[in-house]
Amino acid sequence: MNKLLLKGQLVLILMVLSIMGSKAEDITSLADLRNFSSDTWVTYAPANNTLQFIGRYNNNYILWDGTGAVSAYNLNGKSGGVGLIDPNSIYPVGTYLNGSFTCKYEPSYHDLDDSSDQYNLERGEAGPIVPLEMSVGDLVNNKNVYQYYYVEVSGTFNHTEQSFVGDDGTTINIGDGSSISSIPEITVINESGHGKFKGIYIWNGETNVFLYPIEEGYFKLDGVYIATPTFDVAEGNVEPGTVVTITGNSDKLVYTTDGTNPTLDNGTVVNGTTATVTINETTILKAIAADNDGNVSTVTTAEYTIHVPGDITTIAGYKASTDDSFDFIINSDSEYKVYFGGAYYPYYYTMYIWDGTDGVKLEAADGFTAFNNFKTGDIIQSATFKIIKSRGRKVVTSVSNIVKGENEEMPYVEVTDFSTLTESDAGKYIKVHASASRYNWGINLYDDDNNQGPQLNNDLQLKDITIADCDGKTGTFYIVLNGQWAAYPINKDYFVPDAPAAVAVEIGAAGAATFSSTEALDFTDVTTVAAYIAKEATSGNSALEFTRVYKVPANTGLIVRNAAGENAGAVSADVPVLAGEADNVEGNLFVAATEEIATLPSVDGEYTNYILNKKNGVLGFYKANGKKVAAGKAYLKMLTGSGAAEFIGFDGEVTAIESLTAENANNEIFDLQGRRVAKAAKGVYIVNGKKVVLK
């Protein structure tokens, strides 16, 4: 008994921990699920008798609460979860499921699916299913939004072709119900005509969309139905003389132009299925269709405005304009400046402009070759763009009066949340802190809350920028938006990587190494590695003296050693990046290699260059002789003086340079200043490149 209890408790704990691993979001309706764009744990406790089972599709259980729908993969527990439905039994359509559940919602499939889903739901009685009234056009144009919804649509049903044409003219397929299991056999309706159709809306993930009936009486014919007439010109601003064609599908049309509702006794009557109206002034056009028996349609209404466009002088005005044609005139001054934000062509014929607040992407059928000599940040002192609207988009047909102003650093706006961006933000120059990750040909950007933002590409005419430099890094980006999902760098400094918290220092078996860092470093609390700069000696026989440093400026050449002492061997340390003021390292003879030096010459004008090396067991500084110096290392640069020594000896205590000797001495003896000695007395000498003490 105790073992069984323990096992049950363990299983419960594991399930709870699994769910707690990702914090569940509370939702108040199934429609709330559409707010999530990535996999999210959710908890739902619907009011009694609101959540209903309305059928199975491809082994998924469809749940409906009158506001939204979702498919549930594990209601029978077949993936290891706690099952609610016996797969061998048939639940009546409309069965209420009362209680609560906590599941992982997957928006890519619009389902609840995870092996540890918890359905604390109890089966109730079956009740009527209340559909959501919608238009067919809304369903078809928002396929993934209304997946699995139970809807009622108005239109014309053709039972022979099993198709349905909504009142808005959009067609949808009708399923025969065989794909929806767990429903009773339904009487097939063999009537065609106008009416209302009820069914589950399902999109197959490709192009086809269907309505599936799930209960009796899924289609009800209206009485005599006359389709509402249509206008071939959308309402809004039109040119004088615009001709609007009215189309119906019955015996006659009736229209008015004074704003009153047309009836069989009010308005202009035209026999047939088409009529035309010429618009020369602001007009409210209304129309109905009618048959010869007096049956009429509902009213179609459109308001047309005659508008003579004026000149637009700001980007905000350009974006707000609904005119079909206008002149966009730029005149920059001290108070209002418009910047050239980049262009790419010949493929897309697009350029960006920006005024510090608003930006826009301009498109031209013939390109923007007149701006070939502009570069990012150039002020557009003046320009006149001729604009027309084509297929709903504003297009530049010509540009004149172009004058280029000075180049300035463009002002930016700071963005912290990518989810706030829209397509209307195209042309905006932004600063954003983000992480970067390569995807196909571009770099995806994610803000600090991991919201995906625009993909960074390099299609602008900026051949010397490599966007791959930011891949896998986090930092601050300065970019021009091409809308919500694309952006471009505009100069080499478009990305500033975050400074690391610490920099690794590695010392090999020799116990010492040269080193430099692009970050300022703080060695104060580092116990395993000591850092030194080198200066000319001020006393004694030494050529150089070393000074230990702790707070080191960026790009300072150093020699670092194992802090344990001479011959201590290899060691490493993570040295923190310096937050405060650095020490004074003026006079340091070490030069930082901020990038790889492929061949470092021994002689550099009046200086001689030395690199740290170990020859014949002697660690010291030897003439560079064209050797490579890796980035992050350093070399010694000394005034040549009366003669350049081949070798600068270096003791393990890192206190001073002890000697200057010729390399490969061949039994010759040199003192610690590099002078040949004919006969050595007591003291320290360099013999055949080795340090020797004579007593």
Alpha-carbon distance of 283 to 236, in angstroms, equals: 10
Please report which confidence band the pLDDT of residue 461 belongs to, taking 50, 70 and 90 as the band edges.
low
> Of 222, 220, 219, 54, whose CA–CA distance to 150 is shortest?
54
Q: Give me the count of residues in the chain.
A: 695
Please report which confidence band the pLDDT of residue 11 belongs to, taking 50, 70 and 90 as the band edges.
very low
The CATH number given to 230-306 is 2.60.40.10
> Of 491, 480, 485, whose CA–CA distance to 361 is shortest?
480
Q: Which of 91-95, 182-186, 211-215, 300-304 has the highest mean pLDDT?
A: 300-304
Indicate the SS3 state at residue 422. Answer: coil
User: Among 119-123, 124-128, 585-589, 677-681, which is the least confidently predicted range?
Assistant: 677-681
pLDDT tens-digit series, residues 561-597: 998 876 678 999 999 999 889 999 999 999 999 999 9
Burial of 183 (0-12, 13-18, 19+ CB in 10 A): buried
CB 319 within 8 A of CB 360: yes
What is the reported pLDDT for 295?
87
> Of 553, 596, 605, 549, whose CA–CA distance to 577 is shortest?
553
What is the reported pLDDT for 595?
93
Residue 148 has phi, psi (to 5 degrees) of: 75, 5
Structure letter (DSSP) for residue 266:
B
Residue 83 has phi, psi (to 5 degrees) of: -75, 150
Residue 316 has phi, psi (to 5 degrees) of: -60, -40
User: Among 283-292, 425-434, 442-451, 560-569, which is the least confidently predicted range?
Assistant: 560-569
pLDDT tens-digit series, residues 646-694: 666 555 444 444 433 333 334 566 665 556 666 666 666 666 555 554 5
With a CB cutoff of 8 Å and minimum separation 6, the contacts of 456 are 436, 442, 443, 444, 445, 467, 470, 477, 479, 487, 488, 489
The CATH number given to 18-126 is 2.40.50
> Of 656, 557, 540, whose CA–CA distance to 600 is shortest?
557
CB 476 within 8 A of CB 495: yes
Q: Is the pLDDT of residue 598 over 90?
A: yes
Residue 2 has phi, psi (to 5 degrees) of: -65, -40
- Proportion of the chain above pLDDT 70, given as a percent: 80
> Of 537, 545, 504, whose CA–CA distance to 521 is shortest?
504
> Of 306, 332, 310, whose CA–CA distance to 321 is shortest?
310
Q: Report CA-CA distances (Å) from 265 to 256, 261, 272, 288.
A: 11, 10, 17, 12
pLDDT tens-digit series, residues 473-526: 999 999 999 888 888 888 778 899 988 889 999 998 888 899 999 999 999 999
The CA-based angle 418-443-37, given to 5 degrees, is 40
Alpha-carbon distance of 415 to 480, in angstroms, equals: 12
Over residues 615-636, mean pLDDT? 88
- The residue type found at 76 is N
- Neighbour count for residue 491 (Cβ, 10 Å): 15
pLDDT tens-digit series, residues 158-211: 888 888 999 888 899 888 755 665 566 777 787 788 889 999 998 766 667 788
Please give the full DSSP string across 198-232, using - where no structure is assigned.
EEEEEE-SSS-EEEE--SS--EEE-SS--PPPEES
Dihedral (CA of 291, 294, 300, 306) sign: positive
What is the reported pLDDT for 325?
84
What is the reported pLDDT for 89?
55
Residue 158, H or E segment? strand 150-158
Whether 132-221 and 315-407 share one fold: the answer is yes
Q: Is the pLDDT of residue 30 over 60?
A: yes
What is the reported pLDDT for 226?
81
> Of 320, 319, 284, 326, whose CA–CA distance to 305 is shortest?
284
- The residue type found at 271 is N
Indicate the SS3 state at residue 5. Answer: helix
What is the reported pLDDT for 80?
40
- Proportion of the chain above pLDDT 90, given as a percent: 41
Residue 173 has phi, psi (to 5 degrees) of: -80, 150
Q: Is the pLDDT of residue 246 over 90?
A: yes
User: Regarding predicted confidence, which is higher, 666 or 234?
Assistant: 234
Q: Is the pLDDT of residue 299 over 60?
A: yes
**Alpha carbon of residue 361 to chain centroid:** 19
Q: Report CA-CA distances (Å) from 134 to 142, 228, 503.
A: 12, 17, 61
What is the reported pLDDT for 7?
39
Over residues 601-607, mean pLDDT? 91
User: Regarding predicted confidence, which is higher, 614 or 360?
Assistant: 360
What is the reported pLDDT for 145?
83
Please report which confidence band the pLDDT of residue 240 belongs to, taking 50, 70 and 90 as the band edges.
confident
User: Structure tokens of 10?
Assistant: 């363990």
CB 505 within 8 A of CB 572: yes
CB 350 within 8 A of CB 361: yes
CB 84 within 8 A of CB 121: yes
What is the reported pLDDT for 19?
43
Our CA dihedral for 688, 690, 691, 694, rounded to 10 degrees, sits at -50
| Fold classified for 413-496 | OB fold (Dihydrolipoamide Acetyltransferase, E2P) (2.40.50)
What is the reported pLDDT for 648?
66
The CA-based angle 495-500-505, given to 5 degrees, is 130
Q: Is the pLDDT of residue 468 over 80?
A: no
The residue to which tokens 């490599």 are assigned: 466
pLDDT tens-digit series, residues 308-330: 667 899 999 999 988 888 889 99
Please state the domain extents for the chain: 18-126, 132-221, 230-306, 315-407, 413-496, 499-658, 660-695
The CA-based angle 440-443-445, given to 5 degrees, is 135
Please report which confidence band the pLDDT of residue 12 belongs to, taking 50, 70 and 90 as the band edges.
very low
What is the reported pLDDT for 177?
59
What is the reported pLDDT for 85?
57
- Neighbour count for residue 478 (Cβ, 10 Å): 17
Q: Cis before residue 576, ω within 30 degrees of 0?
A: no
What is the reported pLDDT for 194?
87
CB 234 within 8 A of CB 302: yes
User: Structure tokens of 264?
Assistant: 């069989």
User: Regarding predicted confidence, which is higher, 439 or 629?
Assistant: 629
Please report which confidence band the pLDDT of residue 348 belongs to, taking 50, 70 and 90 as the band edges.
low
- Of 2.60.300, 2.20.25, 3.40.91, 2.40.50, the CATH number of 132-221 is 2.40.50
| Fold classified for 315-407 | OB fold (Dihydrolipoamide Acetyltransferase, E2P) (2.40.50)
Alpha-carbon distance of 557 to 508, in angstroms, equals: 18
Helices (H) and strands (E) in the chain, counts: 3, 57
> Of 255, 334, 263, whose CA–CA distance to 295 is shortest?
263
What is the reported pLDDT for 183?
62
Alpha-carbon distance of 123 to 116, in angstroms, equals: 20
Enter the pTM of the model.
0.42
The residue to which tokens 């089972």 are assigned: 53
Give the 3-state secondary structure of 71-93: EECCCCCCCCCCCCCCCCCCCCC
With a CB cutoff of 8 Å and minimum separation 6, the contacts of 610 are 621, 622, 623, 624, 635, 636, 637, 638, 648
Q: Is the pLDDT of residue 256 over 90?
A: yes
What is the reported pLDDT for 82?
42
- The residue type found at 430 is I
Alpha-carbon distance of 329 to 322, in angstroms, equals: 16
CB 250 within 8 A of CB 273: yes
Please give the full DSSP string across 483-522, using - where no structure is assigned.
SSSEEEE-STTSEEEPPPSEEEEEE-TTSEEEE--SS-EE
The residue to which tokens 């020490």 are assigned: 583
Alpha-carbon distance of 464 to 462, in angstroms, equals: 6
Please give the full DSSP string across 348-403, using - where no structure is assigned.
S-EEEEE-SS-EEEEEBTT--GGGTT--TTEEEEEEEEEEEEETTEEEEEEEEEEE
